[in-house]
Amino acid sequence: MDMPSLKIGSRISRLPIVQGGMAVRISLSPLAAAVANAGGVGVIAGSGLSADELTSEVRAARAATTGVLGVNIMVAVRAFKELVHAAIAAGADLIIAGAGFSRDVFSWCKDAGVECVPIVGSARVAALSQRFGASAVVVEGVDAGGHLGTDRHVDDLLPEILDAVDIPVIAAGGIATGADIKRMLDAGAAGVQMGSRFAATRESSASDAFKAMYVAATEDDIILTKSPVGLPGRAIVNRLTTRIAAGDYPKIERCRSCLKDCGKEYCIIDVLERAQRGDVTSGLVFAGTSAAHVHEVPAAAELMERLVAEWRVAEEGAA
C-alpha cells in the first residue's frame, strides 16, 4: 500500500508531504534537499535571507536533489520581489507565499514556469488565489508554528477551502503523525505541510539548543505571542515570551527595515536569529502544537519513513 503522490501544477512529489519553510535560517538547503530526496517537497525559507544568500541555498539544494524544491517567502518582507526572483532564477520549482497576499507573484511565477502556492486562511482568499493562477493552496490552521493568519483549526477550514477551489489543497497546522496525514487526506486534502516535525531533524539548521526545546516541550509550553509583524505567533514559552506578555519588549539595537509594515515593539528578525544560533532564552523559538510530539531528533529521511509507516498502519486499521 503506497501513499498517494502530490501533483502541484507540472511538479509531482512521490509523497504528499510538504516540509514547512521555517524562517529565520531553520529550513535551508540541507533540510530541503533531504526531504526532497526522501520523496517529499523540500522547502527553503527565504525570509530573513539576502537575495544572494537565498540564491546560494537554492543552488546548493538543487545540486543535491532532483526532487521537488520550493521556497517559502513572507509577502510581509520588504525584499519580497527580490527574493522571489532570486529563488526562481536559482532553480526553485515552486514559490510558497504567506503572511500577506501579493497579486504580482502569480504573474512572476507564470512567466518563469514556476508553480505559485499561496498560504491561505479563508475560502475567499483561496478562491482569489485560484483566479489569479495558483497551482495549489496551503490552508494553514491556528495550530501551526510561526505567524498565524487565522484563529481557526485546519479541520474546520479545510471543507470550506475544498468547496471554494478546484486546485490541490494542502493542509497545515498541528499535523504531527501519519494518522494525522491520513485524516487530512481522507477529508479531501491533496497533501499536508509539516513544519515543526522537521525543525527538529538532524538536517535542520536550527541550533542544538533550539531542537532541545522542541524535544522537551509539552502542550502547555506552546503558546501564542505578540509579533511586530501584526500577526500572532505560536512559539515555545521562554523568558522572552514572558517579557513580551508583560509588555517589556527588548530594545531594538539596529532596525534593518526588513518588513513592509512593522509595529516596532521589538525586532522580530533579531530574536529569531538569536534562537537559531542557540540563544533560546532571549531568542524566539517558533513552534506549532505538533512540537509536543517531538521526542527525539531523527534524520529527515528517517522521519519520512516513520510518517509513511504510521500512515500505513492507520490505513490498514481503517480497512
Indicate if the pLDDT at residue 260 is higher than 70.
no
Res. 180 pLDDT band, cuts 50 70 90: very high
Strand order in 232-236's β-sheet?
A: 146-147, 232-236, 222-226
Q: What is the pLDDT of residues 104-133, one digit of tens each?
A: 999 999 999 999 999 998 999 999 999 999
Indicate which CATH number applies to the domain containing 47: 3.20.20.70
Pair (109, 244) in one structural domain: no
Pair (196, 309) in one structural domain: yes
Within a domain: 191: yes
| C-alpha–C-alpha distance, residues 21 and 72, integer Å | 5
* Local structure of residue 10 (DSSP, 8 states): T
What pTM value is reported for the model?
0.93
Pair (168, 84) in one structural domain: yes
Pair (39, 164) in one structural domain: yes
Structural domains in the chain (count): 2
> Which residue range is the domain that position 244 belongs to?
208-290
Is residue 29 a contact partner of residue 61, using CB atoms and an 8 Å limit? Answer: yes
